[in-house]
């Protein structure tokens, strides 16, 4: 299974990627997670990426392309992966296509998740994460003061870039730099649009149906 999960911030890419990873035992490649890990460990990459991320801007193309190239060179990832949050610009998509060609990788699908802007802002303001296992929560009013993860007991936190100002910037950046990729993948018949408004389990089912339908072709 070689899939790109595409869509605006907060659309549910991370949540759906985790479900697909369980289903297909794929390697989950999230550039956001890799960058956050680098920031946490204060590596050179992390120090370079932090200011961009805090402001809700994209990290420069050459930095993330180098990161992806490193991951996709591993035998395990090359055979079976879910790309989440990459590519995000036309140059990244072009570099990815060149890398696929070099490594002999045949992409199966680009799953494009879509929800309306109001719902994105609503979901991002309610998103919380577990520092221990990475579980993603969309908290309700009742859970507003959730402190520990119900799965592993880890600390629950809100990403700095899920606060209102960076969210506004991330949505702008999405519209300007990432949305043009829809046309890039549509032109080469690789785009599978999925309505992401429904609840998590149903959206997962829509994705699986689309993947299997495409395989039968």
Residues classed as catalytic: 13, 88, 127, 159, 170
CB proximity list for 15: less than 8 A, separation 6 or greater: 136, 200
Interface with ligand AMP, residue 4, by CB under 6 A = no
Residue 111 DSSP class: E
| Residues 137 and 129: beta-carbon distance below 8 Å | yes
Q: Is 64 in the site for ligand AMP (CB under 6 A)?
A: yes
For residue 88, state whether it binds ligand AMP (rule: CB under 6 A): yes
HSE-up of 53 (CA within 13 Å, CB side)?
20
Cross-strand bridge partners of residue 114: 195
Contact 93, 184 (CB under 8 A): yes
| Contact flags string 22-61 toward ligand AMP, x per CB under 6 A | ---------xx--x----------------xx--xxxx--
Helix ranges (DSSP H) in the chain:
13-24, 31-40, 44-55, 61-72, 75-79, 90-103, 117-125, 164-173, 180-187, 200-216
35 vs 130 by CB, closer to ligand AMP:
35
Tell me: does residue 184 bind ligand AMP (CB under 6 A).
Answer: no
Please report how close the Cβ of residue 22 comes to ligand AMP at its closest, in angstroms: 19
Nearer to ligand AMP, 168 or 205 (CB): 168
From the list 69-77, 82-90, 109-117, 209-217, the region that binds ligand AMP by CB under 6 A is 82-90
User: Which two three-digit tokens encode residue 71?
Assistant: 């991951």
Q: How far is the CB of 215 from ligand AMP (least distance, A)?
A: 27
Which of 9, 77, 149, 207 lies at the binding interface for ligand AMP (CB under 6 A)?
A: 9
Of 17, 18, 77, 86, the one binding ligand AMP (CB under 6 A) is 86
Sheet of 136-138: strand order equals 136-138, 127-130, 156-157
Residue numbers of the site for ligand AMP (CB under 6 A)?
Answer: 9, 31-32, 35, 52-53, 56-59, 64, 85-88, 92, 161, 170
């Amino acid at each position: 299974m070689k899939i790109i999960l595409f869509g605006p911030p907060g659309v549910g890419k991370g949540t759906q990627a985790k479900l697909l990873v369980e289903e297909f035992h794929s390697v989950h490649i999230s550039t956001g997670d890799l960058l956050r890990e680098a920031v946490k460990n204060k590596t050179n990459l992390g120090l370079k990426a932090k200011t961009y991320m805090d402001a809700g801007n994209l990290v420069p193309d050459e930095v993330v392309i180098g990161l992806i190239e490193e991951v996709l060179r591993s035998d395990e990832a090359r055979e079976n992966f879910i790309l989440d949050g990459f590519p995000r610009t036309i140059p990244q998509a072009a570099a990815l296509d060149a890398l696929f060609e070099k490594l002999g990788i045949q992409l199966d699908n680009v799953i494009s998740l879509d929800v309306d802007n109001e719902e994105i802002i609503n979901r991002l303001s309610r998103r919380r994460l577990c520092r221990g296992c990475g579980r993603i929560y969309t908290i309700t009013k009742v859970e507003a003061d959730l402190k520990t993860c119900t799965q592993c007991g880890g600390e629950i936190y809100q990403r700095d870039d899920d606060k209102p100002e960076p969210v506004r910037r991330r949505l702008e950046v999405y519209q300007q730099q990432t949305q043009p990729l829809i046309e890039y993948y549509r032109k080469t018949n690789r785009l599978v649009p999925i309505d992401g408004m429904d609840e998590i389990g149903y959206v997962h089912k829509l994705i699986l149906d689309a993947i299997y339908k495409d395989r039968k072709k």
